[in-house]
Structure 1
């Protein structure tokens, strides 16, 4: 399944400045798994109808636990609306006004008309109370970006079935339109996870700087549950682990924000907090060994494998790897 997922924008502060926006684009530019996330939304480039999009989002549960269902995206403020504009632009670059109705110029979101759907003239008159977000059932009273004269609630017949324009989609300009559920578009889901994983191949120091440039920090993994989450996130955002991948292949490892550079054996996260999970980590035997065999550099930097094993490694040009950034507040 080919899809694009944009990883996490800054969660507690919805608006990124220009420098952070550039940093986020850099994090995401080499993703070829078809998945692009932000810290709030995930956009899949797979072109599907509305019902399929909704079902796929219900099965997308990173950060939520298996007992909870996901949802098509709730876009109820300018920050999330800007997220979707960015994601859609990265998945399907804007081709100009002549293509404004093209399927890849729109993305499904979670707003749909749930009341007064008889197709009558009276029911076509816009009332925010008739529309609700999939996640919580709230209506778009405080925030909306409807195109001029929309929603217009047209009707259509396809294969003998009557359809109403009861579903909402968003374009590259962040403008909303109502349309038919049989249309096919990329789709966006709410994201409840902690991590943005970049496919860019960088040293540990470069990865740390790249996360910070996007307003994030190199990631923490503090429990068995977070090990499972980051592995699952990697499968989504980097693509499934390749068959035949060897243990020490660079594609098998992801940089995390742990280091004992300040004092050997005293592992801390990049924010200075101690790594309390240290003793429970599934260290790759005999690691951490702090080996010194590359230009007298010691192994002071933390990485995790696609199988959940931990290793201490070098911050050296021979150690270029994907890396995980952490969403604020998680």
Structure 2
């Protein structure tokens, strides 16, 4: 079963407006099973709570330390954004029976950690009994459905986990239920598999309120490779070197002045000499019959850099940069 991934831009002072939402959807539409943005991640694979928690712990792009976690939805912006994500993964079912289907809810990281003996007293709601992954309680922000949490029992099972609906309402439920799940995201990069020229990729990132990505260190090369594997799928090693799927457009260029490489925001590429260039690059070769030289930066799926053409003949996936990273 393919894994469907959605990430959403929240936090770091970034909120999506209507036009940026359109740009975001355009970035995501051609991904083969994985959709990526920033800060919140929604996987549409239907899993039980324990599996969701484990998968989020292992989703540690940007940290590399196995410290991921189910999403902490601790304010209105994140709650609203998670509604959007779930709506992008699955259509809303408005009929009374359909609204309880597994794909109408998403696992988040709130769970009841104390007073779990199932007695009538322990089933009385107290925000201090519920915790996010960071240990915080839902004191200042909560969106429980009317009458929830009701802490029902099913044999030895208790409703000690929280899920969120298409309407942003919270419900307590049993851990054996299967739903999509949302993780917090610590990474820098949003990847799109939409094959684009460099200029098209630059414009697509900007429409989503982002910019073409920077890779400024060996560590960020490693992070980009991990992000590509998660969001674009593992590299097909049977493909020839110059197959479009083997390369990712980045936001570097020396189009303004030959040999002076800058990122799209105008800052210098200080990492230039440390880049692992594919020999004999950067060579500024011109072999496309009248095209301008190779002024635009690309990174291979195995970590080699190349200067290339901004041309319809060079359509590739691309990476956008998360705000504030």
Please indicate the TM-score interval, normalised by the length of the shorter structure: over 0.9
Give the TM-score of the pair, scaled to structure 2: 0.96
1:143 deviates by 1.0
Distance in 1 (CA, whole Å) between partners of 2:167 and 2:210 is 26
Q: How does 1:60-99 map to 2 (within 5 A)?
A: 60-66=59-65, 68-98=66-96, 99=98
CA contact (8 A) 1:11 1:329 kept: no
- Residue number in structure 2 paired with 1:19: 19
Given that residues 254 and 321 in structure 1 are in contact (C-alpha distance below 8 angstroms), is that contact kept between their aligned partners in structure 2? yes
Q: What is the CA-CA distance between 1:209 and the residue it aligns to? A: 0.8
The change in CA–CA distance for 1:221 and 1:11 in structure 2 (over 3 A counts) is farther
What is the distance in 2 between the residues matched to 1:272 and 1:7?
A: 27
For 1:171-190, list aligned pairs within 5 A.
Answer: 171-190=165-184
Deviation at 1:10, TM superposition (A): 4.8
Matched, 1:215 2:209: yes
Deviates more, 1:244-253 or 1:40-49: 40-49
Once residues 7 and 148 of structure 2 are traced to their aligned partners in structure 1, the CA distance between those partners, rounded to angstroms, is: 30
Q: Is the CA contact (8 Å cut-off) linking 2:116 and 2:122 kept in structure 1?
A: yes
2:146 matches 1:148: yes
14 and 152 in structure 1: CA distance in 2 versus 1, 3 angstrom threshold: farther
CA contact (8 A) 1:40 1:80 kept: no
Cα distance in 2 between the residues matched to 1:221 and 1:183? 40
Structure 2: how far apart are the matches of 1:301 and 1:29? Answer: 24
Which 4+ residue blocks in structure 1 deviate beyond 6 angstroms?
A: none
SS of the aligned residue for 1:234 comes to helix
Q: Is contact 1:106–1:170 with CA below 8 Å preserved after alignment?
A: yes
8 Å Cα contact 2:262-2:269 kept in structure 1: yes
1:278-303 CA-to-partner distances (Å, cap 9, x unmatched) read: 00101111111111222231111100
Kept in 2, the 8 Å contact 1:170–1:177? The answer is: yes
The CA distance in 2 between the partners of 1:45 and 1:74, in whole Å, is 17
Looking at structure 1, the residues matched to 7 and 162 of structure 2 have their Cα atoms a distance apart, in angstroms, of: 23
The CA deviation at 1:17 is 0.8
The answer on 1:327 being equivalent to 2:301 is: no
- What's the offset of the Cα at 1:8? 4.5
CA contact 2:8–2:81 (8 Å) conserved in 1? no
Superposed, 1:114-129 pairs within 5 Å as 114-129=113-128
CA distance in 1, matches of 2:153, 2:243: 55
Contact 1:5 1:36 in 2 (8 A): yes
CA distance in 1, matches of 2:141, 2:14: 15
- SS at structure 2 position matched to 1:209: helix
Residues 145 and 37 of structure 1: is their aligned pair in 2 closer, same or farther, counting only changes over 3 Å? farther
Question: With structure 1 as the length reference, what TM-score do the two structures score?
Answer: 0.95
RMSD: 1.3
Helix, strand or coil for the counterpart of 1:196?
Answer: strand
1: CA distance, partners of 2:246 / 2:105? 35
Matched residue of 1:97: which SS? coil
Mapping for residues 1-330 of structure 1, pairs under 5 Å:
2-33=2-33, 35-66=34-65, 68-98=66-96, 99-134=98-133, 136-157=134-155, 162-294=156-288, 295-330=290-325
Q: Which runs of 5+ in 2 are unaligned?
A: none
Could you tell me how far 1:41 is from its partner in structure 2? 1.1
Q: How many pairs does the alignment contain? A: 323
In structure 1, the gaps of 5 or more residues are none
